[in-house]
Structure 1
């Protein structure tokens, strides 16, 4: 076995093609580490260009622990050594492969390949969701990974225990030729020549030229540019070159991304082009100033949505990781660029384009779309990139549209593929996982392993013509023993039990973990088959399957009016609305339950009661900025409560506002109770003392009047702001509408009471 010679040959072949190679050192860990040193020496790489990702210490090269591997994103190395013996996860592989530069080596240390699928590691521990143990976790992902290592071009395998080279990693293909970069003629471009000379690929040149439309200094129409690319195509660099060019012309450029470090490349490239132009006045963390008075500044997405300082241009990097709500807010700017990864560790640009398509189409902006296909760090056709896409399903796609034409609830079949079924059918796995990718803002390689190996997860699909058109990922939750429930109540986190965890630890219900639930983790329908009832059909089939075996179906999601309505229409009832916005969705999270047993019904009923009681206190404080239609939907999906119990004095105050000269601010509490009753569709009784004569729930108010109750009464916004938001002619008109709304609620909940009749007669007689 000559590992040094093999590594040298691999590196020579990689440099010749401007590609990369994988070297697998399988067997004993210590022997693999020794072989890795030999490989680095044989490859002739400087120690400064080598990083070892391992839990071990004592290396003469840069060492990064696996849990910090994401810090290497956006950097490059000639050799990356990944120790998969301990701390291994699919995410680590996804993060590290992109770090290796063209001509470099990705060295993977593994247990013996034939034994690796059955080796239990720390990642398996993370999949062992109570009440399951690590012995219930599968090894199908590692089986898949081993198969790709043994069959994919460009992957060499050494058995360090036997001292044998099993594969040499040959690649039979001619090196590709890069297209030349171009600089548009001065008459048709706005950006400086230096920016185009900094482009690495012809694709980058085209993208930079398209981004010139964001320089709207001449008063042209609003413009939006969408740049989509696979990972490593230089879209962030193009964003940086555009930002530097705009700032050099005196523009104010606001940059945002899921995290500050995600935008590091944007600022580095902007600073470089400004230095070349002798325009760089000052640079600090997250800010650049130019001699021409321009600037580039970073803001976190939440702050950036408010467009602080009125920027001339907004650049959104890794847009696929942001919610549609946040992306839409950036369209308030006259010039905005969206940059998103299509295939790669960072996220799914396909999901971005599908979710955000309607908002872009409805905007006033002139829209330009650009796709980058040529890699920057290595030449096209790199075998390591295709290996990573294959092994981690980074290129998973839903079925092509012609294969799923015209599906309907009556034409689909309900399927329950096991993890083993999916692992054995690559085509089916790609379709299912491709749909799941579309359903979420960020899908990671770890998610593939969860689908294949996590014992608490199940997949259910609707298929049309043998192809998946709708898919749900389900998680078993609850059924926890008393000791686990007690520890959860006292603050311990129990993985994979989101609903029981929130209801127990946050809402102090220690019994919430006893019923067995099935949570819908994700649900997605093919974009060509939406609005045909397939999502609801899938939920109905799931309900039919689990009814009798499970206490409840549940879901947690970033609440938008459309989603709240969808889940409520499918029988799910509100049990919680978070008081902080979710980092990924940018929305307040709603938890809902569809009870399937008496135990599930009791759980839903008591938490719906708690929602009704606490929301009036939360809405003017933590939930003051919640969308009124979300609040309406959450409350209408909440179990109806008892009719509001108002005292005679409170009824006189309410009637005084509804029919006389009274003022709402005199005693807000009864108005809030009536508002909650109306929004929860609580039936009428005799004013709160006897609900035996209650009729069925019904809509008492118009949607606009309900929004008025939410904004003015429950959230406490000033009347002038509410009038402007809800399009009332004036503040006075708004308050009259409020009185009319309460006149209807007085009819509904107190019309037969003597105190109400007497008070109304006084005003009507005047």
Structure 2
């Protein structure tokens, strides 16, 4: 059988069942392209092939539409009869995940690969990206591709062809991949939901009953106080349903705002919305897009907000969007776009506590292809798109004292599909954007390791840890001069942004991700895991620190501070997706690490004093006070900078008629000292000095460090008037005067007693 004959056979049964088929052409690259084009033309037909076929390759010059691999995400939301992915030069798991949903029912997904026996040992551009300094590409593993090859050889609906160097006799059909499926059932036009009020043209555009029900649920968003959560796997038409509803709502005169991780993610939603606006002849409808960091501010005061691919956004961003009058969340349950499970676990409770009347529904019926499609199930398996943590009963009894700590080697994970699924599934729920690339890195990146607490053999808590630093002098110099160093977040920031040429020399470990099963959270498992990491990898010879970087929230700052991590940096720009400022923290384990942490803690102390009235003027005061409170810098140094006159001004403001405006710099220095040392009673001779309350700390941040007007601070913090706010400010400085003030301060205080 020829390659084109096999392709025709695969497409014929795919068309009959409204499924897709996967054809692997393995071997010589040039011969593979020739065979692939023969297969595509022979199965699709020469008349329509140009308009329905896309090639994704680093090569160019084809008759077909071509995208480079780095732009494959532009195809999300589109469909093709055939897609050819060239895996020879730049194979990226993310691209497989993106393209698996592009092929339409009856279509063909073609993978052009090196010989399958050799592929795991080949190294390409993606492998080079995993060889982060100081590692080399020959230290990158091939476990992900070994696993991928196994799924290709075993999964139904996958044909495999070996090709030689262009000689016809060397082409060999290894596996036909046919499944002889039954014919697809005839799809009937869905009925209009009972009680629906959108015009008929809206429901005429629905392709399935699931889609019609979803549009009907979105009708509720015309009234404030409603929230709708729509979950589905890819290919079910959830974005189209949201678009139909958005267009119908806009046609009634409502102002609709759409947000998504990027504008491209919302492309299908806007396409369907535009179609409905045209169908209904609405000329004044407004549907706007804003990136999440802007959308949380609800620009233009929209009536309705649609959040497409909500699972790819952080929970804190989703929470802020609950300020909208009405909001619809669309999320992918298993897919490249993000983790619907993480969305469910972390956000559902917050949504249930809100004032919204919540409607939840899911879409199960595929639109582009039939249920049970082999390509979809293969992608789920190969990329672990449906990986899940352990079932709750299996870890229900997990406790810090009963769990077993283990480092899970890449070899063990690759050999144990169950263990790999639990560990990766738990990491998926911990982060709003876990991608197929992360699975490959977990198995093959030489700088990463996986550590877990096991309960009865099941993963209860897991951490993904990255080895960083240990950089040679030449690499450190390139970093200092502005070159980004992959896989070395902490050394990169400390060197290039904070101008420390020696920050990349010591070796440390960064906690890239940490997650505890939602059923056993708040039991201390995360803290136990961090303790094991410090006692284990943190105690290895030559390891100087443990570190972490994350989007700062009060809850996370509290967790990391409680576990011995100290703040050394807060970013001056917000993350585009999360809208949060990032924080870096260190936990030194060696002398050089202590010196590094002390150096940057001092930099941070002085930098925050000035930045909070500048680029960080909008930083959440709770994040500011907790980040400063976690900094290990010496507060005495800040207090020692005050002159005798400064002390007279501060003491008179605390106990008498003095004014903050007489020496604002002194108040800032002393505010930093007070926030850095939240427990003055720990200082000898100050046992009776009270701590600043959280409200007083917020007052120091907002009025003194961020320079907000007293009127707005009074309103934010619940003071009855500007005067009461300023009097409270004076009282907040009393414990600081008692702790840090010398003779001059005591004499000034004595004037008013």
CA distance in 2, matches of 1:184, 1:84: 45
Change in 2 beyond 3 A, CA 1:36/1:179: closer
Structure 1 residue 493: Cα displacement? 1.6
CA distance in 1, matches of 2:418, 2:183: 30
Structure 1 residue 642: Cα displacement? 4.6
Q: 1:477 aligns with which of 460, 468, 479?
A: 468
Q: 1:392 aligns with which of 383, 392, 398?
A: 383
Structure 1 residue 306: Cα displacement? 1.6
The 8 Å contact of residues 686 and 739 in structure 2, kept in 1 or not, is answered as: no
Q: 1:248 aligns with which of 237, 248, 251?
A: 251
Q: 1:201 aligns with which of 201, 208, 211?
A: 208
1:605 is aligned to 2:598: yes
1:148 is aligned to 2:151: yes
Find the counterpart in structure 1 of residue 664 from structure 2. Answer: 668
CA distance in 2, matches of 1:609, 1:181: 68
Q: Which moved more, 1:267-276 or 1:469-478?
A: 267-276
Structure 1 residue 299: Cα displacement? 1.7
Find the counterpart in structure 1 of residue 545 from structure 2. Answer: 552
Change in 2 beyond 3 A, CA 1:694/1:599: farther
Find the counterpart in structure 2 of residue 340 from structure 1. Answer: 331
Q: Which moved more, 1:520-529 or 1:696-705?
A: 696-705
Aligned length: 740
TM-superposition CA deviations, 1:491-512 (whole Å, max 9, x none): 1221111101111111111111
SS of the equivalent of 1:661 reads coil
Find the counterpart in structure 2 of residue 239 from structure 1. Answer: 242
CA distance in 2, matches of 1:78, 1:323: 35
CA distance in 2, matches of 1:422, 1:271: 47
1:94 is aligned to 2:97: yes
Scaled by the length of structure 1, what TM-score is found? 0.94
Q: 1:451 aligns with which of 442, 448, 471?
A: 442
Alignment of 1:391-540 (within 5 A): 391-540=382-531
TM-superposition CA deviations, 1:101-152 (whole Å, max 9, x none): 1100011111111111111111110010111100100011110111111110
Structure 1 residue 729: Cα displacement? 1.3
1:57 is aligned to 2:46: no
SS of the equivalent of 2:408 reads coil
Q: Which moved more, 1:398-407 or 1:117-126?
A: 398-407
Alignment of 1:43-82 (within 5 A): 43-45=43-45, 46=48, 47-82=50-85
CA distance in 2, matches of 1:666, 1:411: 59
TM-superposition CA deviations, 1:579-628 (whole Å, max 9, x none): 11122332111101111111111111111111111111100111111111
The 8 Å contact of residues 228 and 339 in structure 1, kept in 2 or not, is answered as: yes
Find the counterpart in structure 2 of residue 654 from structure 1. Answer: 650
Change in 2 beyond 3 A, CA 1:170/1:22: same
Find the counterpart in structure 1 of residue 40 from structure 2. Answer: 40
1:163 is aligned to 2:171: yes
Change in 2 beyond 3 A, CA 1:725/1:488: same
The 8 Å contact of residues 4 and 40 in structure 1, kept in 2 or not, is answered as: yes
Structure 1 residue 163: Cα displacement? 1.3
1:212 is aligned to 2:215: no
Structure 1: gaps of 5 or more residues: 282-288, 686-690
CA distance in 2, matches of 1:763, 1:325: 47
Q: 1:115 aligns with which of 118, 128, 135?
A: 118
Find the counterpart in structure 2 of residue 261 from structure 1. Answer: 264
1:641 is aligned to 2:634: yes
Q: 1:174 aligns with which of 175, 182, 199?
A: 182
Find the counterpart in structure 2 of residue 740 from structure 1. Answer: 731
Alignment of 1:588-599 (within 5 A): 588-599=581-592
SS of the equivalent of 1:593 reads strand
Find the counterpart in structure 2 of residue 371 from structure 1. Answer: 362
CA distance in 1, matches of 2:570, 2:305: 32
TM-superposition CA deviations, 1:47-97 (whole Å, max 9, x none): 111111111222111111111111111111101111111121111111111
Structure 1 residue 307: Cα displacement? 1.6
Change in 2 beyond 3 A, CA 1:594/1:206: same
The 8 Å contact of residues 635 and 676 in structure 2, kept in 1 or not, is answered as: no
Q: 2:198 aligns with which of 191, 194, 200?
A: 191
Change in 2 beyond 3 A, CA 1:233/1:759: same
Scaled by the length of structure 2, what TM-score is found? 0.96
CA distance in 2, matches of 1:570, 1:386: 41
CA distance in 2, matches of 1:181, 1:426: 41
Find the counterpart in structure 1 of residue 278 from structure 2. Answer: 275
Q: 1:760 aligns with which of 726, 730, 749?
A: 749
Superposition CA RMSD, Å: 1.8
The 8 Å contact of residues 13 and 180 in structure 2, kept in 1 or not, is answered as: no
CA distance in 2, matches of 1:16, 1:173: 8
Structure 1 residue 277: Cα displacement? 2.2
CA distance in 2, matches of 1:642, 1:167: 70
CA distance in 1, matches of 2:350, 2:705: 30
Change in 2 beyond 3 A, CA 1:202/1:683: closer
CA distance in 2, matches of 1:754, 1:433: 60
Find the counterpart in structure 2 of residue 285 from structure 1. Answer: none
TM-superposition CA deviations, 1:525-558 (whole Å, max 9, x none): 1111101100001101111112331211100000
Structure 1 residue 175: Cα displacement? 4.2
SS of the equivalent of 1:513 reads coil
CA distance in 1, matches of 2:464, 2:120: 24
SS of the equivalent of 2:704 reads helix
